[in-house]
């Protein structure tokens, strides 16, 4: 009857030990590569983050990365740009010279603390005015609202590249304070204010 067990060699390698009768046999088991993934654990939306994997064991090693939003590629380091807030996982599969595979990764928290960028200009003549501008945020815009300064306001839906182009007819001539307020998906808010004059 054979008896099997695991033991450690003098250099720390795992061995499969088998005893059968008076014979003792030891076979080395393939050791998995020891992998460490380094890089930032907290990343701002829209910024580029770089991650690197180092491996110890029976090299040479091959690396295959799984990065959010990008196809897997065999490299020792990878970069990605976070496009929205949340928790992401950067993963890497490392294979050593014997074909033994180890999976490793890093948990990354993506945050959005930047306010949206709001710009607009005024055109038109008389009491019929037009407002053209852009509302941009790396994490995405949730709400945009324009207040025309005469007690009326309107919700806007940004078009391509955040473009907005509302028009408004004032009931009377005079000076008005126009406010464009934008809120991104993380709750960051920005306001642009412009003083306009509506003629007769």
- Integer Cα distance of 162 and 137 in angstroms: 9
Per the structure, how many domains does the chain have? 3
Question: Domain range for residue 79?
Answer: 34-111
Residue 83, classified by CB atoms within 10 Å of its CB into exposed (0-12), middle (13-18) or buried (19+), is middle
Q: Is the same domain home to 55 and 17?
A: no
Range 60-73 average pLDDT: 74
> Can you give the pLDDT at residue 9?
46
Q: Look at residues 80, 111, 142 and tell me which one is the last residue of a structural domain.
A: 111
Q: Mind listing the pLDDT tens digit for each residue in 150-185? A: 999 999 888 777 788 889 999 999 999 999 999 988
- Integer Cα distance of 149 and 129 in angstroms: 13
Q: Is the same domain home to 84 and 148?
A: no
Is the pTM of the predicted complex or chain greater than 0.75?
Answer: no
Question: Which among 36, 12, 28, 35 has a CA at the least distance from the CA of 98?
Answer: 28
> Can you give the pLDDT at residue 193?
93
Q: Is the same domain home to 134 and 181?
A: yes
Q: Is the same domain home to 138 and 168?
A: yes
Q: Is the same domain home to 47 and 8?
A: no
> Can you give the pLDDT at residue 185?
85
3-state secondary structure of 39: coil
């Amino acid at each position: 009857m054979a008896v099997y067990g695991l033991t450690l060699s003098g250099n720390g390698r795992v061995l499969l030990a088998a005893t059968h009768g008076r014979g003792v046999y030891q076979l080395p088991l393939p050791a998995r590569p020891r992998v460490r993934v380094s890089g930032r654990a907290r990343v701002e939306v829209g910024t580029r983050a770089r991650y690197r994997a180092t491996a110890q064991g029976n090299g040479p090693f091959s690396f295959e990365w799984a990065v959010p939003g990008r196809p897997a590629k065999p490299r020792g380091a990878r970069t990605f740009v976070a496009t929205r807030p949340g928790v992401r996982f950067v993963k890497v599969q490392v294979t050593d010279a014997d074909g033994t595979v180890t999976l490793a990764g890093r948990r990354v928290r993506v945050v959005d603390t930047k306010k949206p960028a709001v710009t607009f200009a005024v055109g038109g003549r008389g009491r019929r005015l037009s407002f053209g501008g852009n509302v941009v945020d790396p994490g995405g815009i949730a709400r945009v609202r324009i207040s025309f300064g005469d007690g009326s306001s309107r919700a806007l839906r940004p078009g391509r590249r955040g473009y907005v182009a509302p028009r408004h007819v004032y009931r009377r001539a005079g000076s008005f304070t126009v406010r464009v307020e934008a809120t991104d998906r993380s709750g960051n808010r920005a306001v642009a204010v412009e003083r306009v004059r509506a003629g007769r």
